[in-house]
Amino acid sequence: MAIDRRREAGGGGRPLPEENGSVPGAAGGATASPPVPSPASTAGAGAEIQAVPLPPPAATCSPVLLDYDGSVLPFLGGLGGRYQRILVLLTWVPALFIGFSKFSDSFLLDQPDFWCREADGQGNWSGSLAPSHANRSGNSSIFPPPGLPTPAGGNASECDCHEWHYRIRAGLVQNVVSKWDLVCDSAWKVHIAKFSLLVGLIFGHLITGCIADWVGRRPILLFSVIFILVFGLTVALSVNVTMFSTLRFFEGFCLAGIVLSLYALRIELCPPGHRFMITMVASFIEMAGQFLMPGLAALCRDWQVLQAVIICPFLLMLLYWIVFPESLRWLMATQQFEASKELILQFMHKNRMNTESDIKGVVPELEKEIARRPKKVCIVKVVGTRNLWKNIVVLCVNSLTGYGIHHCFAKSMMGHEAKMTITQNFYADYYTMAGIALASCLAMCPVVGFLGRRGGLLLFMILTALASLLQLGLLNLIGKYSQLPDSGMSDSVKDKFSTAFSIVGMFSSHAVGSLSVFFCAEITPTVIRGGGLGLVLASAGFGRLTAPIMELHNQKGYFLHHVIFACCTLICIICILLLPESKNQNLPENIPDGEHYTRQPLLPHKKGEQPLLLTNSELKDYSGLHDSAAVSDGISENTTANGMKSM
């Protein structure tokens, strides 16, 4: 209350100096001298506090430098600059290589038909897998979850064989399964190989995301490229399945670093109006890798050659050390102004700009602040916020649910029984899954453009929940009526409904997962964007990890698995309403900016009506942030928390 009375006495909405000695800057970036502590305030603190010099107040930083989307990016020409367009193109090219790596498991670890060659030289089908069991749900929309069940042959004599013969349907003459006879009692090793890549991705996203916020996006990208070349090429030289699985873990770890750093660089290069479409173009290029993968496998014929061909294109990314700079947005958000000035001059030289175009004086302001110490933040700082951590948790749960329930719909459509399989052809199944993913991405573009991020995510989550609930409830009802003699219903009707609901569910759940990752990248502040992306991508990895877990247990508990994720979709629908809308909004640069990035009303308030959202000054006092002074002085105090003007 004492602080509020002092603020009201000052006649402004900005809080007066707190006990830490920081004061807000005057107009034009001028600073006031910190007040001398009173004897009462220093008596209990000890002499050691007086010996430590107070750091310069964070609010003294020029508002021009803190407003990247409003000042720095327009000065550099936005996406109109030639150099910026080249950098965006360089973030698109590796998406094709990433697509090859992500979908390689569908070919390297495809479960073939197998039989034992008898002594008389005749091929007898002994303990062979039904074609419907082989890799039916193993082609997810973003990353292929394993679809390798335990061999059906339960008789030990059927697996008592010294020489197996295989028929691989994935275009290869030999793959990992046929190389080391991973059938019968050794079939579980295939699941471990699947686990290793997914777990490597999860750990890679978490660790490289945190490191990227400390050392930058560019070092993570380059070191990940170097090590994926080392581990990826060594995978092709594996001498046993244990070595293969171990190296695949490290390959997934490095692949996660490449995916995360490119995603962050792509987002931070773009102005608000182009972020979504630039990201979607990268998604389409990645899906092109998915569509080209069967042809690449057919050309290579051997799994070792295929693995080498998938990894070798990453050699081109070694040139990024020369041509690709660090993220300018991250440099300025972390107050590395000396490196920022050098990079801005590089942009001006590449775009052939002159200093007269610097209307807002970005370069002179940088020269004034060039001696400021860098200020880097770890993702754990988000725990002390009031709104930001909730937004990140909601999007992580959405990502987990979207990718987790996708496997449920895939199994319902492809089926884990032969009678439920829509086709016996591997390529038809593979391209069906890829086609659904492509249709989902195409639908996301107009929906998100019209409804925004929050509205689009809500719509796709509602479709996912409806498809899941109708599949669980309506199909059971149809199954009961089909048992009646006069019902006129048959099992084929139930199968058709199941296929239809599964297609809708896969279509919408893919959009939910992809949009959750993009949404999190937008609402997470630049200083911790790597950690935020790592959390949401790791959550997506946990969702995909449920697929091999179910396959390892031979689909036991499949119905409960689907019910749990169906309940999660209902919870997510409620939580999505609490998220802010980031369409056409500037990216938050620091934690206070992200904290003030709060929910907008679904309908804008009428003219003359008091807005329900708090103003920035009110939100500072209400949220209890200790670093509220770091908010830019250029933000008007009658501006609501999400950029709307209060009346």
How would you write 59-127 as a 3-class SS string? HHCCHHHHCHHHHHHHHCCHHHCHHHHHHHHHHHHHHHHHHHHHCCHHHHCCCCEEEEECCCCCEECCC
DSSP, collapsed to helix, strand or coil, labels residue 174 as: strand
Among 432, 434, 435, which residue's Cα sits nearest to residue 423?
Answer: 432
> Strand pairing of 123-124 and 164-167?
unpaired
Show the 3-state SS of 485-510: CCCCCCHHHHHHHHHHHHHHHHHHHH
pLDDT tens column, 403-429: 989 888 887 777 644 444 444 578 888
Token code pair at residue 572: 């997510």
* Phi, psi at 123, each rounded to 5°: -85, 105
H or E element in which residue 479 lies: helix 426-482
pLDDT score, position 345? 87
Q: Which residues does residue 164 pair with via DSSP β-bridges, in sequence order?
A: 116
pLDDT score, position 571? 93
Indicate if the alpha-carbon torsion angle 390, 394, 397, 399 is positive or negative.
Answer: negative
Give the C-alpha separation, 222 to 189, whole Å: 32
Give the C-alpha separation, 318 to 348, whole Å: 25
Indicate if the alpha-carbon torsion angle 574, 579, 581, 582 is positive or negative.
Answer: negative
pLDDT score, position 628? 41
Are 498 and 412 a contacting pair, CB within 8 Å? Answer: yes
Give the C-alpha separation, 423 to 377, whole Å: 52
pLDDT score, position 600? 64
pLDDT score, position 413? 75
Indicate if the alpha-carbon torsion angle 266, 268, 273, 276 is positive or negative.
Answer: positive
Amino acid, res. 170: A
How far out from the chain centre does Cα 480 lie? Answer: 41
> Strand pairing of 164-167 and 113-117?
antiparallel
- CA atoms within a 13 Å half-sphere pointing along the CA-CB vector of 460: 32
Q: Which residues does residue 302 pair with via DSSP β-bridges, in sequence order?
A: 174
How far out from the chain centre does Cα 116 lie? Answer: 44
DSSP 157: G
Give the C-alpha separation, 223 to 519, whole Å: 27
Show the 3-state SS of 504-566: HHHHHHHHHHHHHHHHHHHHCCHHHHHHHHHHHHHHHHHHHHHHHHHHHCCCCCHHHHHHHHH
- CB under 8 Å, gap of 24 or more: what pairs does 300-304 form? 300/172, 301/171, 301/172, 301/173, 301/174, 302/172, 302/173, 302/174, 303/107, 303/108, 303/172, 303/174, 303/175, 303/176, 303/179, 304/236, 304/237
Token code pair at residue 210: 């945190």
pLDDT score, position 606? 60
Are 403 and 144 a contacting pair, CB within 8 Å? Answer: no
Are 552 and 192 a contacting pair, CB within 8 Å? Answer: no
Give the C-alpha separation, 251 to 427, whole Å: 26
pLDDT mean by block of 10 residues, the chain; 647 residues: 44 40 40 45 42 47 79 83 90 93 88 67 44 37 38 51 75 83 79 89 94 93 95 92 93 95 93 91 94 91 91 92 91 88 88 69 78 85 87 94 88 57 68 92 93 92 92 70 56 75 91 94 92 94 82 67 88 91 88 77 57 50 46 43 44
Give the C-alpha separation, 17 to 192, whole Å: 58
Indicate if the alpha-carbon torsion angle 317, 334, 365, 361 is positive or negative.
Answer: positive
* Phi, psi at 160, each rounded to 5°: -85, 85
Token code pair at residue 583: 């369409």
Q: Which residues does residue 176 pair with via DSSP β-bridges, in sequence order?
A: none
pTM of the model: 0.78
Among 453, 502, 498, 463, which residue's Cα sits nearest to residue 477?
Answer: 498
